[in-house]
Amino acid sequence: MHLRRRLRCCGVLIIAGLTSLSAAQAPAQTRSPDYPERPPATPEQVARGQQVFRSNCSFCHGSDARGGETGPNLVRDVVVLGDQKGELITPIVQNGIPAQGMPKFALSTADITDIAAWLHSQPLSDRGAPSTLDILVGNARQGASYFNGAGHCTQCHSATGDLAGIGSRSEPKAIQNLIVSGGGGGRRRRSAGAAPPVKVPPTTVTVTFPSGQRVQGELDHLSAFVVALREPDGTYKSFARHDSIPKVVVADPLQWHIDRLPQWRDADIHDLTAYLVTLK
Amino acid sequence: MKTGTLLLSMALCLPTGPLLGQGLATDAWPTYAGDYSQRRHSTLRQIDQTNVRHLTLAWVRRLTAGPDAGEGSWFGPPPGPPAITGGVAQEPVTSPGSTSGSPRLAGSILQVSGILYISSPDNAWAVDALDGHVLWHYWWKSRGGIHIGNRGMAMYGDWLYFETPDDYLVSLDAKTGQERWHKEIADFSQQYFSTTAPMVVGDHVLVGTGDDLDAPGFLQSFDPKTGDLQWKFYTVPMNQGDPGLETWASLDAARHGGAQVWTPGSYDAETHLYIFGTGNPTPAYTAMLRAPRDEHTNLYTCSVVALNVDTGKLAWYYQTSPNDTHDWDATQAPVLFDGMFAGKPRKITMQASRNGYVFVLDRTTGEHLLTAKYSDAANWAETVNAKGQPVRNAAKDNTVAGSLVSPDNGGATNWNPPSYDPRTGLLYVVLREIYAMYYLTDKDPRMLVGLGGSEQDVVGSLGTSIVAIDYQTGKLAWKYRLTGGSGTGLLTTAGGLLFANDGSGSLVAFGLRGRRSPVPLWHAQIGSIENAPETYTVDGRQYVLVTAEGTVWAFSLQ
């Protein structure tokens, strides 16, 4: 497990190195977009299209074309998605769809081409984009009393010790995720280069043989057949396991956070976040 | 060859009730799951608990994707055959794993008459099952689409079928790898992409596809000979008067409502029912515009659906996540078996669903028999309604401030196939108990399209396990915690073995002990495992086949 983490760190360094290289030189290999992109329209055409749309279409379809009281969302519409430069949209605008209550519009082909350019410039899906909204809804005072009382956080943490200044070092959302993970789960999805806001001690393992001999160290790899560790001096050792012999006991410093997962109330998480962001 | 062909025709063309009803995967592996029942339980017993420790490498074959895969190096082995090229793109997109490099072999591999048929996005191979050498390689020049995976091929006589990310059904001559024809199966401009394995049932090639934008889902049936469309079943209402329209806020919402069919279904030869799962409603992470009221359940999203394979008409459905807001696809294998339930013999289909609940249904009528939560961690629903459906807790939706929810987006389980052992009545499932903070990233529901509008940050895990679910009670007979964090599908055999990816880079053979926890007996450290293990016999020898890191591994007893 720890080996993986180390490798991942190396990977980040390597990727960072490659990025700086490719910034200096030509990019070695670019991955094609999943779906073909239309040639971009000029900003002037997009602006004209928006203006024509707002005067003629937004009454039904909304000023952003994402649906209004009577007209559907056009950004995800089948016709709009299939259209390149207005060729599919034009007949609909000029003829209307009487059965669905859409009147015809006396717009020129040039106007509709501009509308199409604006529609096609609208972002489709922000899948994977991080939240930029203010997530702070909690009560800092209740968060403080939870931290010092019911949450038992002070058994391991201190507002003037490991968490001092965390409100200056990290964004509220990162702090909130950290409250739950303890630094554990967040490691997996951490964006490249982001330093962990708190230091997490390594997971350790104790291997005990039938003879009574014990070997201890930082856990490196564990399966039903092999356990591997690094001793404090860096020596790597791995042992075969048969029928649960030797005995393996893993100590995860984040065990409290794991055990807590099924018990959290979202309100307590929000209050704790509101409190920790005040630790500037 | 003759024996193999006969087996295939028995398996595919003469769907006799007892044979397929029992769903016995035997010598060959002619379909996605080895048979139509999706049990992934083989009657082979040459490899068993007493000798599995002698299981060893028979051969290993690393594959290379793209047009240049056949070019060997000076020092390497002799080059494979040059790629046969197909496809409609003038200038194919570049995509590692498709046009070059190591393919992701996450699909099922067919084994018929001693030949393996292997696929990955835009690539297909025929490989000799005795030593793994490549007979032919076909490469499709792609116009794009999401290259997330390919779940395998289907076979009808000497003809093969597979789907491409840019929405074509391609048929190949199995003997030569030459293309017979290709048919466009979905509108590329709506961003459909196709990953699933087609299923051949009688004279039908059943073809699903996928989409992560707001497009309607459907299942299509094509003529195996000509590729002509036989029927098309939309999984959401598309017109005024369609059944289920009352479960949507509007026709426009329904027509953009998703319910993609992106995994293969099961087939019940006795009733001619093709039983499959559908995906999430779209937009995925808000119900405000498609399901503002409780009665807006959004049919037939997140459902197990049964169609008559001859007509494409709906026989029954059961929705596992009404009014879903978490991407809880019900696309997990609906496993078919017969057994006693509450004192009565029943023809059953059972699904361990992505949402953390397991459902037992009567497969002839869709009658609900049992719901149980098999994930301790799942916390997005608080109650189960009279129909046996989990009732969503709105407080555990995506919220601006963040909600702690399990499962994470990967689900309690996902596409990775389960296995059902008829001797124990237990369904074995890979269970992930992972938590994420679910953040709503836009307050205006009109801005949410497809899978947009949500940030999900994994914040912890209770671990990944293999669980054994008793279909009669829904209770776990055992839960075996894996040391690693992933699983890619399971296989059981009459030799009393369970083959699984341990998530730590090993294929492991467990000895099954009835209702007691299984014992790890054998393993091979082969790297990141990509598909579900399979087993079959060639020349009297039983093989276990699995893929890892673009490489096919075959094991047998020496």
Residue B31 has a CB neighbour count (10 Å cut-off) of 28
CA distance B375 to chain A (A): 11
User: Does the pLDDT value for residue A195 go beyond 90?
Assistant: no
Chain A residues within 8 A of B446 when measuring between CB atoms:
62, 64, 66-67, 73
CA geometry: angle at B305 spanning B304 and B309, to 5°? 140
Structure tokens at B535: 């087993």
pLDDT at residue number B148: 92
CA geometry: angle at B80 spanning B76 and B84, to 5°? 145
pLDDT digits (tens, 9 = 90+) for B247-295: 999 999 999 999 999 999 999 999 999 999 999 999 999 999 999 999 9
Q: What is the mean pLDDT of residues B173-182?
A: 98
Structure tokens at B27: 């010598």
pLDDT at residue number B73: 59
Q: How far is CA B191 from the centre of its chain?
A: 21
Q: Report whether A21 contacts A239 (CB < 8 A).
A: no
Return the half-sphere exposure (C-beta side, CA atoms, 13 A cut-off) of residue B475: 3
Q: What is the mean pLDDT of residues A161-187?
A: 87
pLDDT digits (tens, 9 = 90+) for B53-64: 999 999 999 999
Please give the biggest Cα pair distance in chain B.
Answer: 68
User: Closest to A189 (Cβ–Cβ): which among B95, B443, B458?
Assistant: B458
User: Does the pLDDT value for residue B370 go beyond 80?
Assistant: yes
- Choice among A63-67, A199-203, B455-459, B540-544 with the minimum mean pLDDT: A199-203
What mean pLDDT, rounded, does chain A reach?
86
User: Closest to A185 (Cβ–Cβ): which among B94, B444, B458?
Assistant: B458
A196 — pLDDT class (breaks 50, 70, 90): low
B contact residues 337-356, partner A, Cβ 8 Å cutoff: none
Q: Report the percentage of chain B scoring pLDDT > 90.
A: 89
pLDDT digits (tens, 9 = 90+) for A157-168: 999 999 999 999
Domain ranges of chain A: 43-120, 140-199+257-276, 204-252
Topology adopted by domain A43-120 = Cytochrome Bc1 Complex; Chain D, domain 2 (1.10.760)
Q: Do B435 and A135 touch (CB under 8 A)?
A: no
Cα–Cα dist A19/A234, whole Å: 31
Cα–Cα dist B35/A85, whole Å: 48
Q: Report whether B504 contacts B465 (CB < 8 A).
A: no
Backbone angles phi, psi at A10, to 5 degrees: -60, -45
pLDDT at residue number A6: 31
On whether any CB of chain B is under 8 Å from the CB of A28, the answer is no
Q: Do B439 and A135 touch (CB under 8 A)?
A: yes
- Choice among B18-27, B70-79, B234-243, B515-524 with the minimum mean pLDDT: B18-27
Radius of gyration of chain B (CA): 22
User: Does the pLDDT value for residue A187 go beyond 60?
Assistant: no
Chain B residues within 8 A of A180 when measuring between CB atoms:
404, 435, 437, 459-460
- The structural architecture, per CATH, of the domain A204-252 is Roll (2.30)
pLDDT at residue number B77: 64
Q: Do A186 and B93 touch (CB under 8 A)?
A: no
Q: What is the mean pLDDT of residues B466-470?
A: 98
User: Does the pLDDT value for residue A30 go beyond 70?
Assistant: no
pLDDT at residue number A33: 83
Chain B residues within 8 A of A30 when measuring between CB atoms:
94
pLDDT at residue number B487: 76
Q: Report whether B265 contacts B276 (CB < 8 A).
A: yes
Chain B residues within 8 A of A197 when measuring between CB atoms:
none
On whether any CB of chain A is under 8 Å from the CB of B450, the answer is yes
Q: Do A127 and B504 touch (CB under 8 A)?
A: no
pLDDT at residue number B9: 39
B485 — pLDDT class (breaks 50, 70, 90): confident
Q: Report whether B345 contacts B276 (CB < 8 A).
A: no
ipTM: 0.92
On whether any CB of chain A is under 8 Å from the CB of B4, the answer is no
Structure tokens at B409: 């987006």
User: Does the pLDDT value for residue A8 go beyond 80?
Assistant: no
Q: What is the mean pLDDT of residues A253-279?
A: 97
First to last CA, chain B: 24
On whether any CB of chain A is under 8 Å from the CB of B528, the answer is no
Find, in chain A, the residue whose alpha carbon is nearest to that of B450: A125
User: Does the pLDDT value for residue B356 go beyond 60?
Assistant: yes
Which of these, B382, B485, B378, lies nearest to B435 by C-alpha position?
Answer: B378
- Choice among A174-188, A261-275, B101-115, B163-177 with the minimum mean pLDDT: A174-188
Q: Do B213 and A124 touch (CB under 8 A)?
A: yes
Chain B residues within 8 A of A81 when measuring between CB atoms:
187, 189-191, 213
Cα–Cα dist B105/A255, whole Å: 35
